[in-house]
């Protein structure tokens, strides 16, 4: 059993805490590790190291800073399979999903190495007679990320490489449920040879989070997690004058039009709802059958869901793994109970799934509710599990109304063969990540990631071109030499 350490100022160090959280393997239900619930003092130690490292790093030429990331990319490629397997072991997703996640992490490193073009400012001569003006983006100081459990490798890397390649220094706080993946990633960082204090990691939970939110030397926070915490982080950063990008939860609607190519669409529909066991903020949650596609869609979707291979994600060929923890399993089962109580019709029940060889795993099989009404809890709240709510509407307008009325606005998807309908949908739907004929509208590293309404608190989203604005302050210099 592994007890992970913090990484501060280029060294692996113990937290001052006596409290440790347990890390579980979701497939076997066994305890596999412990992570310290680091204190505000531990965060302070990391923040001081990062602050100390800042000026020298900030003065390092951008291309030199980028070279560290070129090297780091190669180190990540070498440890790719190792990281992916650790991730499966502590989070539960399948090996393919895990490899896909590690790939996306590396893509962010690749994108960030374009700093010499992505971070440049602009200028204009003669803004008045003989006066020139330049806008010069400059790094700001120490930034940090507070990461969720569901993408333990990738999410910190939506932010970290851009912050650091821009000349800032950094602190990562991984989820206390899945601390081992980022620990393995930091072994690569350690081997890469970054100057001490440039990149740091502090494990922990509430105390570490508050330590970061209220630390005077931390200039900005990126957060990804559930909406209630995202709102809390946003408020705290407002109080303390920090920059903030706070990504919350989701309730994603997937509309299927009568003209959709159902057979062709089915693999991606299934992936949308059951990929990562529904534990992703881009997962489909409400399947909306528009018009007379309802009966055929239901039959085909149920048949495809039934055929999914559920098991230990470490076995190749498994299509859906367990959910992350016993506690989370109970939460998802609670939503299923709620759906039954509120009158939805359970047409595929994954509650009692048995996986041979894994009697203690946190498995829930594919679950489908039919005859779901928009006001039901399962149609409104984020379940974050393999539970699908099927709603039948008359037309596109009714479907768009469902999206508009949702508290969340992360992603929305549409299946159709009509360009006109697709345009109407992307034009009107109140969500920020849109999929047309695909079920996981996941922006890649060179496009921004983040939602609308209760799914996002802040201005500048994760990765994409814009993220460089979050990690820099644009200094405007007005000069007269004539």
Partner 1 sequence: MALTTFGAIMGFAVEMIGRSMDIYRTAVGKVKDPVLKENVQVLLEEGKKNSSLMEQTRRENVTEMILEPIAGLQQEDYEIDLKISGASEDSDLLKAALALEEKERRFFHDSSEKVPLPEVSRIFRKIARKKEKYIDHLKSLRLNM
Question: Contact positions toward partner 1, by CB under 8 A?
Answer: 77, 80-81, 94-97, 99-101, 103-104, 267-268, 270-271, 275, 304, 309, 316-319, 438, 440-442
Tokens matching residue 397: 């307008």
Per DSSP (E only), the strands in 291-426 are 345-348, 367-370, 387-393, 408-409, 411-415
**176 contact partners, CB below 8 Å, separation of at least 6:** 21, 35, 37, 203, 204, 205
CB of 214 to partner 1, least distance (A): 35
Tokens matching residue 59: 């003065």
Measured between alpha carbons, how far is residue 327 from residues 19, 91, 92 in Å?
Answer: 19, 13, 14
Identify the bridge partners of residue 12 per DSSP, sorted by sequence position.
Answer: 7
Residue 413 is among the residues annotated as catalytic for this protein: no
Q: Which is nearer to partner 1, 95 or 178 (CB)?
A: 95
CB of 442 to partner 1, least distance (A): 4
140 close to 107: Cβ distance less than 8 angstroms: no
Q: Which is nearer to partner 1, 27 or 379 (CB)?
A: 27
Of 192, 237, 276, 281, which one is the catalytic site residue?
281
CB of 176 to partner 1, least distance (A): 24
CB of 170 to partner 1, least distance (A): 24
Q: Which is nearer to partner 1, 199 or 441 (CB)?
A: 441
Tokens matching residue 237: 């950063």
Coil, strand, or helix at residue 33? strand
Tokens matching residue 355: 């996986």
Q: Which is nearer to partner 1, 119 or 441 (CB)?
A: 441
Q: Which is nearer to partner 1, 144 or 148 (CB)?
A: 148
CA atoms within 13 A on the CB side of 214: 10
Tell me how far apart the alpha carbons of residues 286 and 394 are, in angstroms, rounded to a whole number: 15
Burial environment of residue 21 by CB neighbours within 10 A (0 to 12, 13 to 18, 19 or more):
middle
CB of 418 to partner 1, least distance (A): 22
Tell me how far apart the alpha carbons of residues 95 and 312 are, in angstroms, rounded to a whole number: 9
Q: Which is nearer to partner 1, 415 or 468 (CB)?
A: 415
CB of 309 to partner 1, least distance (A): 7
132 alpha carbon, distance to own chain's centre: 42
371 close to 345: Cβ distance less than 8 angstroms: yes
Which of 198, 83, 206 lies closest to 152 in space, CA to CA? 83
Q: Report the catalytic residues.
A: 281
């Amino acid at each position: 059993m592994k007890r992970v350490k913090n990484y501060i100022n280029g060294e692996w160090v113990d937290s001052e805490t006596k409290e440790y959280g347990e890390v579980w393997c979701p497939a076997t239900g066994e305890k596999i590790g412990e992570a310290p619930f680091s204190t505000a003092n531990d965060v302070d130690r990391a923040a001081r190291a990062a602050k100390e490292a800042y000026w020298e790093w900030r003065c390092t030429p951008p291309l030199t800073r980028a070279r560290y990331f070129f090297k780091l990319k190669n180190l990540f490629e070498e440890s790719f399979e190792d990281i992916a397997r650790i991730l499966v072991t502590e989070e539960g997703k399948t090996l393919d999903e895990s490899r896909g996640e590690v790939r996306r992490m590396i893509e962010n490193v690749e994108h960030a190495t374009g700093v010499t073009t992505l971070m440049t400012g602009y200028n204009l001569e003669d803004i008045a007679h003989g006066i020139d003006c330049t806008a010069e983006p400059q790094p700001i100081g120490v930034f940090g990320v507070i990461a969720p459990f569901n993408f333990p490798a990738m999410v910190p890397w939506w932010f970290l490489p851009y912050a650091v390649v821009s000349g800032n220094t950094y602190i990562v706080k991984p989820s206390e449920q899945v601390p081992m993946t980022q620990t393995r990633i930091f072994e690569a960082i350690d081997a890469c040879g970054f100057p001490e204090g440039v990149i740091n990691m502090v494990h922990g939970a509430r105390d570490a989070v508050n330590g970061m939110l209220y630390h005077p030397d931390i200039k900005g926070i990126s957060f990804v997690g559930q909406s209630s915490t995202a709102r809390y982080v946003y408020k705290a950063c407002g109080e303390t004058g920090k920059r903030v990008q706070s990504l919350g939860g989701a309730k994603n609607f997937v509309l299927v039009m009568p003209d959709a190519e159902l057979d062709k669409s089915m693999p991606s529909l299934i992936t949308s709802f059951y990929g990562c066991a529904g534990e992703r903020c881009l997962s489909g949650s409400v399947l909306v059958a528009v018009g007379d596609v309802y009966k055929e869609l239901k039959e085909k979707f149920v048949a495809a869901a039934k055929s999914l291979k559920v098991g230990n994600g470490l076995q190749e060929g498994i299509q859906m793994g367990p959910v992350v923890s016993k506690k989370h399993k109970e939460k998802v089962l609670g939503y299923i109970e709620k759906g039954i109580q509120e009158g939805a019709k359970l047409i595929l029940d994954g509650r009692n799934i048995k996986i041979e060889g894994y009697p203690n795993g946190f498995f829930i099989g594919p679950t489908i509710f039919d005859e779901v009404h928009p006001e039901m809890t399962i149609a409104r709240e984020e379940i974050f599990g393999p539970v699908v709510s099927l709603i039948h509407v008359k037309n596109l307008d009714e479907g768009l109304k469902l999206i508009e009325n949702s508290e969340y606005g992360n992603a929305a998807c549409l299946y159709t063969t009509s360009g006109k309908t697709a345009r109407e949908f992307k034009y009107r739907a109140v969500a920020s990540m849109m999929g047309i004929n695909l079920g996981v509208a996941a922006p890649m590293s060179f496009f921004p990631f983040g939602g609308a309404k209760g799914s996002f608190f802040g201005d500048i989203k994760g990765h994409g071109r814009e993220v460089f604005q979050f990690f820099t302050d644009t200094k405007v210099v007005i000069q007269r030499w004539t």
